[in-house]
Amino acid sequence: MRLRRASCCALLGALFPLLAAAHDADLIAVSVAAPRPEVEERVVMTGGTLCMLVPVDADGDGLISPEELAAKAAALEVGVWDQLPLSAGAGEARCRRRATAAELREGVVELRASFTCSPGELRQRFRVLEVLPSNYRVVVARSDAPATPQRFAQGHDETVVIPEATSGPERISGLPGWIRLGVVHIFTGYDHLAFLCALLLFGKTWRRVLVMVTSFTVAHSITLAISALELVPLGASGSRLAEAAIAASVVYVAAENLVRRDHAHRAWLTFGFGLVHGFGFASALKGYGLGQAVVAGLLGFNLGVELGQACVVLALFPLVQLASRRPAAFLWIARAASAAIAAIGGYWLVDRLMALR
C-alpha cells in the first residue's frame, strides 16, 4: 500500500515541475549592434511580460495600446532600461544611454535604446530577471553579426558578456553539439513535454507507447526537415501560429484523457500533432543557424530530441504503470493531472493567440 501511494506521489511529482512554463511566453529576445562607440539595442517581449515590469495597461483591459505605451515612456526608462545596465571595458564603465523608443509590433512590444560605450568588452546585467518568475530566459544575439553565437541569462545567472562578432557560418560545431542542443531543447520545451506526459498517462502498455512515440518521431522529423531547409518557409507569423497549434495539441490530448476511455487511435493522433510540433522544433533549430552544417544539424538536433524524449518516457512511464496497479486511485490522479495539463495548455494557447494579433 505504501509503495503504491508513493508511486502515485512520485508520478505527480514528476509531472508538475515540467509544466511550469513555455519557451515563448517566458522568453525575452535582445539583439545588439555594436559598431563602437555607438551601441544600438533592441529588446522584444510579450505584452504580458512588460506588464509584470511596468504597469502599462492603464485601463486594465488586458491589451496594450500605442497610446498607453507612449504615456508610460518615463516608467519604461526606470522599470526596464534602468534594470538593464550596459557596461564596457575592464573597469565596467557604465554606458551612457542616449535615446529610447517603444513600439507595438506584430503582437509583441519592441523597446529600442542607443548607447555610447567605452572600448572593451560589453557586459549587460539583466536585473529584470529578479522581478520576473524564475522560468524566464533572456536570449542575447548580435544583430550585426548573425553568425555570432547567442548568449543566455536565466535565474541568478543574470549577467551576460555580449558576444564579439565572428564571421563563421556555424554557431555550433560538430554532431555532438547539435545532439546536445536537441536534448536541451526538449527538456526546456515545456509544451512538448506536457504533450508527451498527457500521452503517457493513458499509454497502457509499452507497445502502445512505442507506437505513439515512433509515430510522433516520424511526423516531426518530416516537418522539421522541410521547414529547416526552407522547403516550407514559415516566417515569423507562421512560427507563432505553429506555437499556438502546439499549445492546442496539449489542450486536446489532455481534454481527451478526461472524456474518452478508449485511446487506441492515438498513433494517428500523435502523427498529426507530430507534424505540428516539427515546425516548432524547426523554429528553434533555425534560430541557431545551420550554415553549411545542414546534414549534421538536422541529424544531430533530431537525434538529441529523440534522446530527450526517450529519457522522459523511461523515467515517467514506469511510474504510470506502477500507479495504475490501483485503478481507482490512478484514474483520479490521471484525471487530475490531465486537468492541470489542459489548464496550462489553455493558458499557453490564449497567450499565443493574443501574440498573433
Q: Which residue has the cell 526552407?
A: 230
Q: Give residue limits of the domains in the chain.
A: 28-161, 171-355
Mean pLDDT over 212-228 rounds to 87
Q: Which residue has the cell 481507482?
A: 328
- Predicted confidence (pLDDT) at residue 113 exceeds the cutoff of 90: yes
* CA atoms of 353 and 347, how far apart (whole Å): 10
* CA atoms of 246 and 67, how far apart (whole Å): 33
pLDDT at residue number 4: 44
List pLDDT tens digits, range 41-55. 999 998 888 988 999
* CA atoms of 41 and 97, how far apart (whole Å): 10
List pLDDT tens digits, range 153-177. 887 778 888 877 654 434 566 778 8
Handedness of CA 239, 291, 304, 218 (dihedral sign): positive
- Predicted confidence (pLDDT) at residue 264 exceeds the cutoff of 90: no
Highest mean pLDDT: which range of 34-48, 229-243, 260-274, 309-323: 309-323
Long-range contacts of 257-265 (CB under 8 A, 24+ apart): 257/198, 257/201, 257/202, 257/334, 257/335, 257/338, 258/335, 258/338, 258/339, 258/342, 263/202, 263/204, 264/208
Q: Which of 89-98, 121-130, 331-340 has the lowest mean pLDDT?
A: 89-98
Mean pLDDT over 205-226 rounds to 89
Q: Which residue has the cell 539583466?
A: 126
List pLDDT tens digits, range 274-320. 899 888 887 777 666 655 566 777 888 888 888 999 999 999 899 98
pLDDT at residue number 118: 83
CB within 8 Å of 335: residues ≥ 6 apart = 257, 258
HEC assignment per residue over 273-328: HHHHHHHHHHHHHHCCCCCCCHHHHHHHHHHHHHHHHHHHHHHHHHHHHHHCCCHH
* Cα–Cα–Cα angle for 342, 347, 350, rounded to 5 degrees: 120
Cis check: omega of the bond before 37, within 30 degrees of 0: yes
133 C-beta neighbours (distance < 10 Å), count:
12
Nearest to 290 by CA among 145, 178, 151, 150: 178
For 35, phi and psi rounded to 5 degrees? -80, 95
* pLDDT, averaged across the chain: 81
SS3 3: helix
